[in-house]
Structure 1
Amino acid sequence: MPRLLRHPAALLLAAASPLVFAADPVPYADLDTDTSGHSHMPGVVNVKGERQHYRSLSATGATKTDALLMDLPQSVRVLTGDLLRDAGVTSLAGALELSSGIAKQSPLGGLWDSYAMRGFTGDPNFGSDYMVNGFSSSRGYNGMRDAANTQNVEVLKGPASALYGRGEPGGTVNITTKKPKFVPEYNADFSLGSFNMKRAAVDLTGPLSDNFAYRLNAAHEKGDSFRDTLTVERSLFSPSFIWLLGDRTTVSYEIEAVRQRTPFDRGVLAVNGKLGAVPVSRFLGEPNDGPMTVKSLGQQLFIHHDLSDQWILQAGLSYRDSELTGYSSEANNLLADGRTLRRQRRHRDFSSTDVSGRIELVGKLTTGTIRHEVLLGVDAYHFDDHRVQLRRNPSAGNAYAIDIFAPVYGGVADPLALSIDTQEGQKAHGLYAQDQIDLGAQWKALVGVRHDSYDQEVTNNRLNVSNNQSLSATSPRVGLVYQPSKAWSLYASAAKGFRPNSGISINNQAFPAEQSRSYEVGAKLETGKLTGTVAVYDISKRNVLTVNPLNTDFAVAAGEVGSRGLELDVSGELARGLRVSGAYAYTDATVTRGDNTIVTGSRFANVARHSANLVATQQFSLGTGTASFGGGLQYVGERLGDVAVSSKFTLPAYTTAKLLASYSPTPKLRLALNVENLFNRSYYASSYSQLWVAPGAERTVTLNAHYRF
């Protein structure tokens, strides 16, 4: 990886908030303790011998403090490690299927994670937004995220701009990675599955000295696809270290190296507006193009210092270098005979670097009878992106065509010509403050404000023209919580958001920034074994970027859009050994002010009005061991299937089922059988247009063995 390694792994300080050192929800000892029962790491609560199952009492990404879910004036879903394991999840995409209000979007030929939260998709140039340990990790080209080093996934609904800066008003995702432990623990996973899939993963951790510990997470997966001729290979290598510098200071350093090789795959197509004419396995690209390669190298170094029992200082940087290269053959247009598909050919060479950092002060104080937990911070990032694309459209002399009913591969396109050569630089910094206010036994409040300044320069090297702009915005949020009893919590919140847009328009102009307003009310339930949240929201947003249907190489601003809806999330233990996780969402996301291209009243592409999921497993004793058996259902309603939202093309609703079973003959060994799409239904997960429709996978059986040494 010569391009990735040109930058040394130096000068990486990242702000270590309590989210970095949150308690580990797996059933093993988190950190060793001294004879007094106190952890060697300040501020860590140890969890020994107790599972949190599908429940999580706190979500540190929501406030950067160890705030209880019941005290937060927003909807938050924490997908715990137990839930991800029981559901057989090995990817971010699989994890997000368990939450309400999230819709799959077109994944750029299978190269990255793309989803909409409450209807909003993020930057179409880079896939959807997510954070890793509180740092933005989606800018650039990072591939499909593997879950091998994931401790839990926090789905933070609603705008987070007042805390994190640029972001979607629908919400964001924060991934907490697995942390080193001072108790040795060695785990290995081996999986075999349909389509010749083979996967191996290790999770090793332990002390290197009394004050220094390591953790190594690594995974490699390779197999064919249910799609004809395709082979997919993914690798993750993620070492991490924790160093305890005395009683008050902790340093934590992490590396995350990812490599993905998979052919670019736009999926199937609709013939005369109807799906199903070709099987979901039909590949309409060109095998001779070979795989697209995605490489990403991320590094984070966290520093956490206790100034006193009440105040904490945390500061640092995060660095990520990524690239995407390779050839593709993509559907261009279907001829009148209904079977001859003309194709375009492209070569992409994209690369980016992303450096960000922050300094924060967190403390507790009291004014009269009112208690405060205050966060003050400053952060900045510098993002560079270089995109070169060669392209050749079909012509009368060379249609570069394929028969969709009887494909014969091996076609040769005309030589490629330069289509895009752009260099973009973004620089931004922000100041922010937050106050979590305890007003008494039943009332709590959260107020926050952030001011962002942003500079962008975009150069079109092909045309030798440049554009730049400087923007600033103030993003406040306020929320109020009322707790009539220990089991119930009612809340209301309001916030503004700000998000710069990347890229240039077809007229070589930089885009204005997105601006949003969001309102939300909801209720939460927290019993001894069950948690639930119901939320109602209303979001409006302007200057939204969407793909230009007149030229898919460029984007357009869609004017104003809005989303309103209702969401319900429930998880926990209904009866002894019966674990459940369920979610439902009603999402009404539409264009509220469009133009001749983006029609007012049009629904957002790939966002269903109704969606729901349910996972249930029963744990029981079997012989001298333990076992579980259960399953799940996933429902997604009808969706618009074309980014040219004046189109009437829709994707049909679908329901899929899964089977989940496991057996642990000893405490060290766990065998699991997962069957996805149990009844082998043909369905369509997302779409970009009638020519680019991503089908869902056929029935997939996976057998996994987990061994703890």
Structure 2
Amino acid sequence: MKNQFTQTMLFCCTNLYLLTSNHAIAEDNLPQKYNNTHIETITVTGVKQAYKGDFATLETPQSELIIDDKLLQYTGAQGLTQALDLSASVARQNNFGGLWNSFAIRGFVGDENLPSNYLVNGFNAGRGFGGARDLSGIEAVEVLKGPRAALLGRGEPGGTINLITKRPTFETSGSLNFSAGSFNTYRADIDYTTTASQNIAMRLVGFYEDADSFRDTIETNKQGLSPSVTWQINDKNQLTYALEYSHQSTPFDRGITAVNGNLNALPISRFLGEPGDGPMEADVLGHQLEFQRKISQHWNLLAGFSYRDTNLEGFATENGFYGGRQFLQRDGKHLTRFRRYRDYNANHQAFRVEANGSFFTGHIQHRLIAGLDTDDFKNDQVFLRARGSAIDDTQPIENERIRLATTNQIINVFNPIYGAYILPVPSPNTDQLEHQKSQGLFIQDQLSLTDKLDIRIGARIDKYQQTLNNRALDNRSTYTDTHISPQLGIVYKTTESFSWYAVYGENFRPLSGATDENNLEPNQSQSTETGVKFLLNGGQLEANVAIFKVAQSNISTVDDDFNATAIGEAESQGFEFDLNGYITDTLSIWASYSLIKAETKNTFKDPNFGTEIPAGADLLNIPKNQFTLQLIQEVSLNEKTLSLIGGVTYVDKRNGFFSDQTFKLPSYSTFRLAAQYEVSNFLKISAEIRNAFDKKYYTNSFADVWVQPGAPRNARLSTTFRF
């Protein structure tokens, strides 16, 4: 992969140099008023988003939240997790030691053994092993709530996240950003776009970050590049190519342990792994190619192909669970750990083609989206493990601790001594390749029956196949199925600024590890939603109020013999309120609130621990109440814009261990203060303080021994140069 990246980047950089070396950068290209975006965007004729069609906010019978580049800059979000905190409908989940993004939408999460899936320009991109997603190169983050399978195919029950990348614009401009912050965090970003000719434009976006952490011994280094090229072939045809490269190096960090249920027993800085394991390495190399054709005034054709390789590799010493091998439950001081080696590789390919447009039958207008796509995902996992012996409870505590100290990698949680023992060599545990393939046909028609009433009808049929090659057992098995995903929606627009909507949809997600032998039928969900959308302040302020219910079935579980089965059922229902836009010409607001009850509906076993989970049990990491508010006041200082920003995030208490419903993560509120000042047309300075009141809090957990603490009070200062 690295050799392939080197060759590709040499090609891109060489061509970028040749295209720009003789191109003068004129001062006239700079925007007259800095609008808190890196680059003034010029829309290229014919650019459209896949699976979207042309629908205004009040015409869409589903709740959607669009976090644009301007808001991302105001809120200082640099990673996907920070961006998703702006939606109260999204809750953080176990992030795999900081190595991937995991989130629940409307109470439901996907496969806990894979990162949460998200889309990039409509292409599946989140299931690989490329590390936590950085927002460099991202123009907007779309939170598409509710089931989307009628168009997108396989997906998560509560909704879909789609990232829109920055594309070339047909003028020359750019920016350099340098920032420094707490925990020795240093970062540089570049965003540069230029034209090679009247119909070819290029853009280069990249970043480099080096940082320590509030966590002991943790150091992170990451970098990425996202070059892209747009060829406006003529007034009807356009071709865009984008490359994605990133590399991350960071130690695997499971967080802190609750000592006998007490989360406050250890400082949030306490690292319980082994620095001698070194960092985990995560790499991404991806390509996207998109072709758009304007067939006529009312019809467009979109076709695209995506290819993405990801890799995650390295050692980690991790906190062991309470049970027969955990010594912490005996003396309350010494933690048993196990060591793992992972070499995870994923290859993801996708192709799609669609036509969208409008036509009339009598007085009824039809807005149609129809097409086909394919998806090919290979998940290759090699996993080694070294864990100690079972504890003999009949022996004296101190004698048993000494006997097991080395084999069980015991560490004193109150006075850790790293490197006390030779790190054990892990033995083979998992060696398998899972291959998931699907082909889908989709169609959606929104009929405008009157000037006020729209009906949306959609359906998709997917044929998919899963092949599991268990190399460790020399066993190969398959699972095939065909699934239909329908959707029905209605929109009634009472005025030019108010509409009511309702929607029903079904969703499905194939379960990893499904074979014809275990008959793990896909996870399925049915969702209903009704709400109102309205515009205020002359359309400058948008709001959405919704109530919803999502029922999920075929959740993966185990039977009495610990064989995989899919009999779990769960339900999520709640209320949402989103408000964003300008209250006045200089005061803007972003507010998001959710009230969610997510619980099991039948008794089944936790597949990780075999513990029986009763009906009515709370799902993991789902707060009942969640709220975020951002206020931005723009004032004039020396005839330049000063933006004063204040934000607060509230997260209710949550279940922190699915198999132990008594273990809860406490509620918390964090505050952010920031300011951005436009010194000149060429220079902007920004400063921010996160967690201003230094609140001790915990963002997510998987169990009582894997709890992720949030960062204490921290600050960042940055400078942006535009040219």
- TM-score normalized by structure 2? 0.89
Give the superposed CA RMSD.
2.3
Shift of 1:420: 0.5
Q: Alignment partner of 1:603: what SS?
A: coil
What is the match of residue 57 of structure 1? none
Change beyond 3 A, Cα 1:297–1:142: same
What is the match of residue 523 of structure 1? 532
How does 1:323-342 map onto structure 2 within 5 Å?
323-332=311-320, 333=326, 334-342=328-336
What is the match of residue 595 of structure 2? 586
Distance 1:544 1:203 in 2: 43
What is the match of residue 380 of structure 1? 374
Which residue identity lines up with residue 496 of structure 2 in the other structure? K
CA distances 1:88-144 after superposition (whole Å, capped 9, x unpaired): 111111111111211000100000111100011112222112110011111211211
* Residue 700 in structure 1 maps to residue 714 in structure 2: yes
Distance 2:375 2:226 in 1: 23
Which residue identity lines up with residue 704 of structure 1 in the other structure? S
What is the match of residue 492 of structure 1? 502
* Residue 173 in structure 1 maps to residue 173 in structure 2: no
Shift of 1:706: 1.1
* Residue 540 in structure 1 maps to residue 555 in structure 2: no
Shift of 1:677: 0.7
Change beyond 3 A, Cα 1:581–1:408: same
**Higher radius of gyration, 1 or 2:** 2
Change beyond 3 A, Cα 1:673–1:492: same
Distance 2:493 2:472 in 1: 60
What is the match of residue 355 of structure 1? 349
Contact map agreement 1:491 1:523 (CA 8 A) in 2: yes
How does 1:269-280 map onto structure 2 within 5 Å?
269-280=257-268
What is the match of residue 263 of structure 1? 251
How does 1:470-619 map onto structure 2 within 5 Å?
470-503=480-513, 509=518, 511-527=520-536, 528=538, 529-545=540-556, 557=566, 559-596=568-605, 597-619=612-634
* Residue 291 in structure 1 maps to residue 279 in structure 2: yes
Contact map agreement 2:277 2:315 (CA 8 A) in 1: yes
Contact map agreement 1:157 1:171 (CA 8 A) in 2: yes
Which residue identity lines up with residue 463 of structure 2 in the other structure? S
Contact map agreement 1:156 1:174 (CA 8 A) in 2: yes
Change beyond 3 A, Cα 1:89–1:549: farther
Q: 1:675 aligns with which of 689, 696, 719?
A: 689
* Residue 424 in structure 1 maps to residue 434 in structure 2: yes
Distance 1:680 1:194 in 2: 13
Contact map agreement 2:511 2:521 (CA 8 A) in 1: yes
Gaps of 5+ in 2: 10-34, 321-325, 390-403, 606-611
Q: Alignment partner of 2:259: what SS?
A: coil
Which residue identity lines up with residue 495 of structure 1 in the other structure? G
Contact map agreement 1:29 1:183 (CA 8 A) in 2: no
What is the match of residue 49 of structure 1? none
Shift of 1:674: 1.1
Change beyond 3 A, Cα 1:284–1:504: farther
Change beyond 3 A, Cα 1:76–1:282: same
Which residue identity lines up with residue 460 of structure 2 in the other structure? R
Which residue identity lines up with residue 600 of structure 1 in the other structure? A
Shift of 1:558: 6.0
What is the match of residue 17 of structure 1? none
Q: 1:249 aligns with which of 237, 242, 246?
A: 237
Shift of 1:44: 5.4
Which residue identity lines up with residue 54 of structure 2 in the other structure? D
Which residue identity lines up with residue 155 of structure 2 in the other structure? G
Distance 2:302 2:92 in 1: 35
Which residue identity lines up with residue 105 of structure 1 in the other structure? Q
Contact map agreement 2:530 2:548 (CA 8 A) in 1: yes
What is the match of residue 34 of structure 1? none
Shift of 1:704: 1.1
Change beyond 3 A, Cα 1:81–1:2: closer
Q: 1:365 aligns with which of 350, 359, 371?
A: 359
Contact map agreement 1:468 1:510 (CA 8 A) in 2: no
Q: Alignment partner of 1:163: what SS?
A: helix
CA distances 1:148-170 after superposition (whole Å, capped 9, x unpaired): 11111110000000000001120
Contact map agreement 1:676 1:699 (CA 8 A) in 2: yes
* Residue 451 in structure 1 maps to residue 439 in structure 2: no
Shift of 1:385: 1.2
CA distances 1:465-517 after superposition (whole Å, capped 9, x unpaired): 22211011100101100111111111000011111111369x98463211111
What is the match of residue 93 of structure 1? 81
* Residue 316 in structure 1 maps to residue 331 in structure 2: no
Which residue identity lines up with residue 53 of structure 2 in the other structure? T
Q: Alignment partner of 1:100: what SS?
A: coil
What is the match of residue 680 of structure 2? 666
Q: Alignment partner of 2:113: what SS?
A: coil
Distance 2:156 2:56 in 1: 23
Distance 2:95 2:508 in 1: 24
Distance 1:238 1:6 in 2: 14
Aligned residues: 668
Identity of aligned residues (%): 38
Shift of 1:383: 1.1
Q: 1:391 aligns with which of 370, 385, 394?
A: 385
What is the match of residue 42 of structure 1? 45
Contact map agreement 1:546 1:643 (CA 8 A) in 2: no
Distance 1:337 1:359 in 2: 62
Q: Alignment partner of 2:661: what SS?
A: coil
Q: Alignment partner of 1:484: what SS?
A: strand
What is the match of residue 113 of structure 1? 101
Change beyond 3 A, Cα 1:630–1:313: closer
CA distances 1:160-183 after superposition (whole Å, capped 9, x unpaired): 000000011200111101110111
Shift of 1:206: 1.4
Distance 1:66 1:419 in 2: 50
What is the match of residue 467 of structure 1? 477
Shift of 1:298: 1.2
Contact map agreement 1:264 1:292 (CA 8 A) in 2: yes
* Residue 156 in structure 1 maps to residue 144 in structure 2: yes
Gaps of 5+ in 1: 10-23, 32-38, 46-59
What is the match of residue 183 of structure 1? 171
Contact map agreement 2:569 2:601 (CA 8 A) in 1: yes
Q: 1:145 aligns with which of 111, 119, 133?
A: 133
What is the match of residue 635 of structure 1? 650
Which residue identity lines up with residue 598 of structure 2 in the other structure? A
Change beyond 3 A, Cα 1:546–1:271: farther
Distance 2:697 2:40 in 1: 43
What is the match of residue 15 of structure 2? none
Distance 1:244 1:525 in 2: 37
* Farther-moved stretch of structure 1 (312-321 vs 234-243): 312-321
